[in-house]
Chain A
């Protein structure tokens, strides 16, 4: 058996892992590097090197700045709300009978539903002629597809779709919290707020970091839902960097698309670095 284990460890595991690594390099890393390379060139002008001109061009574009701000706003809003909802629901599950009654696997289901299907349902619910607006018919004109209301259905969608996973993670974490800790704390204080602040949140910090990373990626993928509802040109508030990149790519403006993609990647990397730094500092 030892021989078999050694062989698995020395050969098969690296072999299997290398396949994934190769795929990652081929389909993610290489396009990113190519995009990074293209962002320094003017492709229509015989691939002329233009330095940072493409970046300057994009940052001078009001549209791109707007897309960047929208992306950041939605990311931060969704992360914050996802954290509150996931942790809050997990707390309720952990410290109530609900956790024993509700089949927790159901919480994972929304992630498995295709984005397009969800978008159709969401349109039916929140469209200006939809179910929710219909309720206010005659009372007020409620158009959830307009103005500041635009974020509401989208955030609800995000929470419904992705917070279930967070609930499971937090629930697992809270379930592993030894009862002795809780009993010891209860001797000191009866305050639930203090329990939350001094015991539960620190205990869940590793999972919070993990979920922040994951939800940040999920928030980027919300572009699919926006695209399914509004196609290329959503309302101004929902115009994300992904729209900018996608539309420019479709219009053969590859260098702009590549530059936008690179900037988006750097934003994500910066956020990841910030989160990891926070985690590391907490550990130290």
Chain B
């Protein structure tokens, strides 16, 4: 075909240019490549920062997506050395039976499918890098490992050079006794092995062992763990210059069932040990009962030891043998770290390049997050003067021990408020959760443990959770009070709310008081209510009848109205107050949104009274008259929020009337609450905190969030955007999330901003503006 029209040639030319441009664009690469000098992608646990760029371990042929980072064991010229674990169902890392553990580095330098062990076997791996970048991988597998390795046990040693080539492989002919007798999985795993000059140092829960790559034991320091008390536990270590830093603490061992492992530490000991002789060069011991020392991690850099637990970071200067706490709140690391209390930090590494890179692998209960922070070097007097505040010692840090029923987000909230509580007093207060995040405790188990410990006199908690009234079959609060086990909290209240008769439900406190004392603070108190529109023609009549009506009257009235109209204008609902102090205001719904639900627990609680039969009729009536949406838990969030908004604006035009149960026989549903034990060593501090938690928190809550629509939200969010990491955004989202209840759509929108910011696509100001915009839209809709 002969082309005549020059326009066609021009257009075809443009198309060719565009096509070539497209090919160039493709080669130039958008895809997964990211801008340089950005932090890790928090939404992709497999992401590891390598010299400012990303390498995603998502090649299906090498590392499948069901792997996640277990430990960052070091840094070589090629990048980080990472141990990945296989993720099993439900997103839980299989820490015991990691049958396929892979090591990955830049371009997947090291990769091995180490153990193709039978499914019934358990496998473990430990890995370490020496000063020359040579990688030592120790693998153990056996049929059973929890209490004791049982032969046959296979132990392999793989040694790789910096090019990722396997240079040595050993199968130990003689298996050290320490491996055969390892007591639990914490004693032998990634992160507790260090190597120096072909000598491996492995830290067990009861000591440490030096051995060669062929399994020959050179030195061992192992305490007898068969005794119940005391227990010596080494929490970590590091190697440098032919020396090994060891940390151990001495404490009591509560349970070894695997679900309740708990160390109640009474002293710390840090020592520097010479390799391979095992000679203790120096050691430092703090005699204290500080608690909260499980899962402590530490690493060293330039003769400074950095010790971490969930609460804070200690800095131990080995030259001066002084301990410092990181206290400067402007340091984002501390603030981030404090927010991490709801999860496990699996590993910490320090990677020195003039600055300190702290690399954390963190698990918050639902997913793993890999994060990295840059610290200003903490060594040196100037830096220390700026960022550290010398503390007198660990012994002076009061610890509130809290035996909680439901660990989880609740921990997070309590921990956050404890931080506020401590800041207001310019004091350092720790809270010690006796039930770690990863060990959810069943209701019955909790109550049995609580009862047994308290009546046996072995409990040393300050705060305990008290179960809800619907679940008190095995928990007798009155018995606790009568035995003098609970602290009267009334003297600690700053407001004499008990004596204020103008409050709406003053008689609610009568339920809480026992012999004139306040021993129990429930988180949630639910009261059955009637909501009647102000325009209802019989409203005045109902108000009058409500002053003295009985159940029979109530049922008769509601039934009559239903028969007349075919529908009932009355909503029978339960108003719940999240914190006890919130039922003190004169208008109970002016501060806190009512939560409308009618769940089985409430039915059970209300049905316990003598008027069970009558109330059951009401329940039946309720089910008939009230919209099913009110019972739909899945729609509770939006519904609740919608109503809470209405409560605070002109749209809420309902009258609230008491049910007959509120006259004479109070029917309440007491949710889980708190109490302070008299045996607690910091019981007064705990009581003070608890009252603060109950009284001040709602005020802060209201001041901070309920005024949000009327304040410049951007400035508010900016104030709460202190850092530059994903965790800071998480904290913001958490804070935003406390603004009554945010729907998932808001979280998604904010997360999108977070991801863009973390990827460097948005500046901090723009990100703040976007979040502010989202919140502004939300509260103004």
Contacts and interface: CB of A to CB of B under 8 A. Distances in A.
Interface of A: 42, 44-46, 48, 61-63, 92, 95-98, 101, 128-135, 137-138, 141, 143, 145-147, 230-233, 235-236, 239, 244, 247-248, 250-253, 256
Contacts of B777: 63, 233, 236, 239
B638 interface: yes
**Leading 5 A-B pairs by shortest Cβ distance:** A134-B30, A128-B761, A46-B535, A233-B749, A131-B30
B752 A230 contact: yes
B32 to A, nearest CB: 8
Nearest to B779: A63
A257 to B, nearest CB: 10
Given A131-B30, A134-B28, A145-B756, A235 B773 contact: yes
17 contacts: A42-B651, A44-B652, A46-B534, A96-B8, A97-B4, A131-B25, A131-B30, A131-B31, A134-B33, A135-B25, A231-B749, A232-B746, A236-B773, A239-B777, A251-B642, A253-B781, A256-B781
B760 interface: yes
A167 B8 CA distance: 17
Given A61-B780, A239-B777, A233 B746 contact: yes
Contacts, number: 121
Interface in B33-68: 33-36
A251 B7 contact: no
B11 interface: yes
Nearest to A232: B745
B361 to A, nearest CB: 24
B98 to A, nearest CB: 32
A52 to B, nearest CB: 16
B748 interface: yes
Interface centre among B26, B35, B533, B641 (most CB of A within 10 A): B35
Nearest to A124: B30
Nearest to B24: A135
B766 interface: yes
Given A130-B30, A131-B25, 11 more contacts: A92-B7, A96-B5, A129-B30, A135-B28, A137-B29, A143-B756, A147-B766, A230-B749, A231-B745, A233-B774, A256-B781
A130 B483 CA distance: 67
A239 B774 CA distance: 10
A253 B650 CA distance: 13
B507 to A, nearest CB: 30
Nearest to A252: B642
A137 B30 contact: yes
A96 B6 CA distance: 8
A16 to B, nearest CB: 39
A97 B3 contact: yes
B31 A133 contact: no
B752 A134 contact: no
A141 B760 contact: yes
A251 B536 CA distance: 24
A256 B780 CA distance: 12
Contacts of A129: 30, 32, 34, 759, 761
Nearest to B780: A63
Interface string B1-18: 001110110010000000
Contacts of B32: 129
A253 B642 contact: yes
Contacts of B30: 129-135, 137
Contacts of B8: 96-98, 101
Given A134-B28, A236-B773, A44 B778 contact: no
Contacts of A133: 30, 761
A98 B7 contact: yes
Interface string B735-764: 000000000011011001000100111100
A250 B778 CA distance: 12
A228 B766 CA distance: 23
B197 to A, nearest CB: 43
A244 to B, nearest CB: 7
A232 to B, nearest CB: 4
Nearest to B756: A128
B367 interface: no
B722 interface: no
A137 B748 CA distance: 26
A230 B8 CA distance: 40
B780 to A, nearest CB: 4
A98 B638 CA distance: 55
Interface in B696-741: none
Contact of A44 (B11, B35, B646, B759): B646
A233 B778 contact: yes
Nearest to A250: B638
Nearest to B646: A44
B703 to A, nearest CB: 24
Contacts of B752: 230
A143 to B, nearest CB: 5
B260 interface: no
Given A131-B30, A236-B777, A141 B536 contact: no
A46 B33 contact: no
B585 interface: no
